[in-house]
Structure 1
Amino acid sequence: MDQGNTAFILIGAALVLLMTPGLAFFYGGLVKAKSVISMMMMSFGAMGLIGVLWVLYGYAIAFPATDVGVTNAPWTIDWNELGLASLLEAPEGAAYPPLAFVAFQATFAIITVALVSGAIADRAKFGSWMIFAFLWSTIVYFPVASWVFNFGLADGAFSYGGWITHGLQDVFGVGAIDFAGGTAVHINAGAAALALALVLGKRVGFQKGAHVPHNPPFVLLGAGLLWFGWFGFNAGSELAADNTASLAFVNTLAAPAAALLSWLIVEKIRDGKPTSVGAASGAVAGLVAITPACGSLTPFWAIVLGLLAGVVCALAVDLKFKLGFDDSLDVVGVHLVGGLIGTLYLGFFANGTGLIYSGQFTQLLVQAIAAFTVLIYSFVLAFVIGFAIEKTIGFRVKNEDEIAGIDTVVHGEEGYVLTDAR
């Protein structure tokens, strides 16, 4: 067993877990001051809930053991893996302990669920959010993770069962490339966010310029923590400290740096001023786009991808005003659009199999199949789950509570105590 790679995976897991508090700061700074606790608590709630579910049964759904070379059915559960007791000992010849991989993938599940919450900021009940997170992670995220990431340890060897990566390869000769979660994480979360935004409806007074970030320094802090953790997210997905991990690391630096610049250029041309929130949002857009592609692009093409993502996502966030849906913190414009860009971009520029290298559209075809299958699956089920919650126990707070700020109503706390009442 390679102790160096084991340490690499565990450090990567810790970095990815840090992304969720980072996301809490990023989202928390974007909402109004009287909703900051509610917003951050949805991220921390996801950490608690999904951490428990992953150990109990999430891993058993996402990574059921299969024979080497056998593709799993789209929805499978390994009853032997419930509670993880069967994974306490590493099989002979394993490169790293199974529980190291369990820990790494747990943090992906947590951050994916937390991402969705940004679409319903300022108006969601915490209890209803937790019920949604429970149902959506069980029915949507855990199976989709299996479709994309399902490579685990079976009898001491790697097993490959994800139909998106390996099943498509059996049909088309190449499988979809998703190095670290463009489909399973970002398209998945972005589609669910769009569904919830439609279910909950618009905030009171929704219009362009009506809701401004209350704390841009929080946004920058959150973006910095996200970028830091993202090195574990992307490079760590190689599961080994090798050349591919190094390539993923460099691309995780280059793409968001380029996206940050291109987003600011769009702001300068469109609005006359580059903003700090724009810089943070551009960096995150670049991080989203490079996630599926970080191990399959040269650094030059990673920069081009970042430039493209920064421009397109900066323009996409305004679509909600034209199309009439209230995605509070632009999860759709950044994560869904950015995830689609990064996933489809591989069809053209993936090393060896992209159009410019192979002269064929096969890679683009399988990338599109993967992206839009996850998008449709997640959107439909998230809409059904959210609609059912809204029509039974209610998902949205009362309008008067939303106007006043929901921190005291939902959590009995204030984010900023400006006077000493003692």
Structure 2
Amino acid sequence: MDKIIEKRWIAAFIVTAAVCVTGLFWEHASVSVSERFNSTDTIVPADVAWLLTASCLVLLMTPGLSFFYGGMVGKKNVISTMLKSFICLGVISMLWVAVGFSLSFGDPIGITINGTYYGIIGNPSDFAFFDYVDEHPHSAMASTIPFILFALFQMKFAVITPAIITGALAERIRFISFLLFICLFSLVIYAPLCHMVWHPSGLLGAYFGVKDFAGGTVVHMSAGFAAIAGVLVLGKRKNAEYIPTNIPFVLLGTGMLWFGWFGFNAGSALAANHTSAMAFATTTIASAAAMLTWAFFDRLNGRKVSALGCCIGAVVGLVAITPAAGFVSIPKSMFFGFSAAIVSNVMVHWKALKRIDDTLDVFACHGVGGIMGMILTAIFAEGENASLLHGGWGVFGHHMTALVLVAAFSFFGAMLLYKSTNLFIPLRVSEESEQMGLDMSQHNESLG
């Protein structure tokens, strides 16, 4: 088995080298001002400044997530858990440049419905190795900032999505298997969802009218359902009882996530404008409401108010408001945080989920938080034909149909990818390695 694993690492190195070297020989096409691209004269400096800042904030969320998860696992698995989040900054960034951005935002490949063409996935060669991605703004996508800035901002979303999944699989998944899975997940699940929701001609956004301001559907629902699929494939840990190693890590990670989430949500306005300001406000208020609700709901159920609970509650509020951040008022954002915290809290303590061993309750927080966010957005989002209250039952029905489709696609698609990965190399570490802890068995490092 060790020799087989070594061959996989050689293959991983060769693929990385091929991607890096290919860029030298890739014949890049020059951008000309046309219907597709605007002149650089249309760039708004304030928008550029804000999106540069927002991109930095979203990047910070992935290290924040690593601290958030790392503090919650047992002492023998802190480094391995944190690294699985952190490594996404390298793996997914490379993949995004090579083909991920094309699959997500390239020219639509899809179906025709009632005479209109809707995209399911982007053309993989359209922006391969960032062809046509330079300082010129794209006329249909972020027309006031350079297209390269839009691509880099979206890259940070692609990075954190598979990182979210790691919390469910902590303490038992083999590192190289995880790397293969996140590549497949990004190409097969994330990219199509991103295209269908956020591309101007995407099936879910343009046909179903799905409102997802900053990734409740694309990021959190996809990661949540992929997480639960992974738990079912991997099985339970040999020792599911553990004590969180470092609660201050969790507090630090939560602070970094909350801070970075302003870029995640407010940055998704793609401009320094009133929508960005409102998204900034609804983001922090929803999180505040969820944190308090979680803490008080724990106490009402006979549990102590804990730092861990407050942190989880705050993150659930951030997840829930994400799809609606730019579409609702401040009072409604409070209700988003309040209701999502209660539902996620109940799910975290649901015995059925405990039995299947979702290590860090990823589905109960991100999956359920994303579902709650999508449902509440479908009810309360403001604007013409945006929700149940502003468009009627037909609009709401389209959202619920899309919710079911996204859930099924993410869950069964991820299940297939886990099983496919397992054919190449076992997903799960040996019982001996699990007992030793993944820090030493996978990385030969420890907290000391």
TM over 0.5: yes
Supply the distance in 2 between the matched residues of 1:28 and 1:317 (Cα, whole angstroms): 18
The partner residue of 2:387 within 337, 354, 359 is: 354
Relative to structure 2, which stretch is displaced further, 88-97 or 339-348? Answer: 88-97
SS in 2 for 1:26: helix
Residue number in structure 2 paired with 1:108: 157
Residue number in structure 2 paired with 1:282: 313
The partner residue of 2:225 within 191, 201, 207 is: 191
Which consecutive unaligned segments of at least 5 residues does structure 2 have? 1-42, 110-114
Residue number in structure 2 paired with 1:20: 62
Supply the distance in 2 between the matched residues of 1:106 and 1:83 (Cα, whole angstroms): 13
The partner residue of 1:81 within 127, 136, 141 is: 127
Cα distance, 1:320–1:108 mapped onto 2, change above 3 Å? farther
Residue number in structure 1 paired with 2:144: 95
The partner residue of 1:40 within 62, 77, 82 is: 82
Residue number in structure 2 paired with 1:372: 404
* Mapped pair 1:120 → 2:164: no
Deviation at 1:73, TM superposition (A): 2.7
Deviation at 1:369, TM superposition (A): 2.1
**1:182–1:342 Cα contact (<8 Å) kept:** yes
Cα distance, 1:400–1:87 mapped onto 2, change above 3 Å? same
Residue number in structure 2 paired with 1:164: 204
Equivalent AA in structure 2 for residue 90 of structure 1: H
Deviation at 1:354, TM superposition (A): 3.2
Supply the distance in 2 between the matched residues of 1:180 and 1:91 (Cα, whole angstroms): 20
Supply the distance in 2 between the matched residues of 1:329 and 1:92 (Cα, whole angstroms): 40
Supply the distance in 1 between the matched residues of 2:108 and 2:185 (Cα, whole angstroms): 25
Relative to structure 2, which stretch is displaced further, 76-85 or 127-136? Answer: 76-85
Q: Deviations over 1:67-93 (max 9, x none)?
A: 9x9754312315131101322240597
Supply the distance in 2 between the matched residues of 1:291 and 1:212 (Cα, whole angstroms): 30
**2:107–2:123 Cα contact (<8 Å) kept:** no
Supply the distance in 2 between the matched residues of 1:393 and 1:247 (Cα, whole angstroms): 47
Q: Deviations over 1:201-253 (max 9, x none)?
A: 001133xxx22211111001001100000000000000011111111000001
Residue number in structure 1 paired with 2:349: 318
Equivalent AA in structure 1 for residue 93 of structure 2: G
Supply the distance in 2 between the matched residues of 1:101 and 1:277 (Cα, whole angstroms): 35
The partner residue of 1:381 within 389, 407, 413 is: 413
Cα distance, 1:91–1:301 mapped onto 2, change above 3 Å? closer
Which has the bigger relative contact order, CA under 8 A and spacing at least 6?
1
Equivalent AA in structure 1 for residue 87 of structure 2: G
Equivalent AA in structure 2 for residue 195 of structure 1: A
**1:347–1:361 Cα contact (<8 Å) kept:** no
Cα distance, 1:388–1:87 mapped onto 2, change above 3 Å? closer
Deviation at 1:269, TM superposition (A): 1.7
Equivalent AA in structure 1 for residue 237 of structure 2: R
**1:313–1:338 Cα contact (<8 Å) kept:** yes
Deviation at 1:357, TM superposition (A): 4.5
- Compute the TM-score of the two structures, normalised by the length of structure 2: 0.85
Residue number in structure 1 paired with 2:362: 331
Equivalent AA in structure 1 for residue 322 of structure 2: T
Q: Deviations over 1:246-292 (max 9, x none)?
A: 11000001101000011101211223311100000000000000000
Supply the distance in 2 between the matched residues of 1:314 and 1:301 (Cα, whole angstroms): 20
The partner residue of 1:397 within 407, 413, 429 is: 429
Q: Deviations over 1:80-129 (max 9, x none)?
A: 31101322240597411000100000000000010011110011111000
Cα distance, 1:8–1:327 mapped onto 2, change above 3 Å? same
SS in 2 for 1:291: helix
Which consecutive unaligned segments of at least 5 residues does structure 1 have? 151-159, 169-174, 418-422
SS in 2 for 1:73: strand
* Mapped pair 1:293 → 2:293: no
Deviation at 1:323, TM superposition (A): 6.5
Q: What is the identity percentage for the equivalent residue pairs of Structure 1 and Structure 2?
A: 40
SS in 2 for 1:74: strand
Equivalent AA in structure 2 for residue 27 of structure 1: Y
Residue number in structure 1 paired with 2:211: 177
**1:195–1:380 Cα contact (<8 Å) kept:** yes
**1:346–1:364 Cα contact (<8 Å) kept:** no
Deviation at 1:321, TM superposition (A): 4.3
Supply the distance in 1 between the matched residues of 2:239 and 2:94 (Cα, whole angstroms): 38
Superposed, 1:401-412 pairs within 5 Å as 401-412=433-444
Supply the distance in 2 between the matched residues of 1:404 and 1:271 (Cα, whole angstroms): 35
Deviation at 1:320, TM superposition (A): 5.3
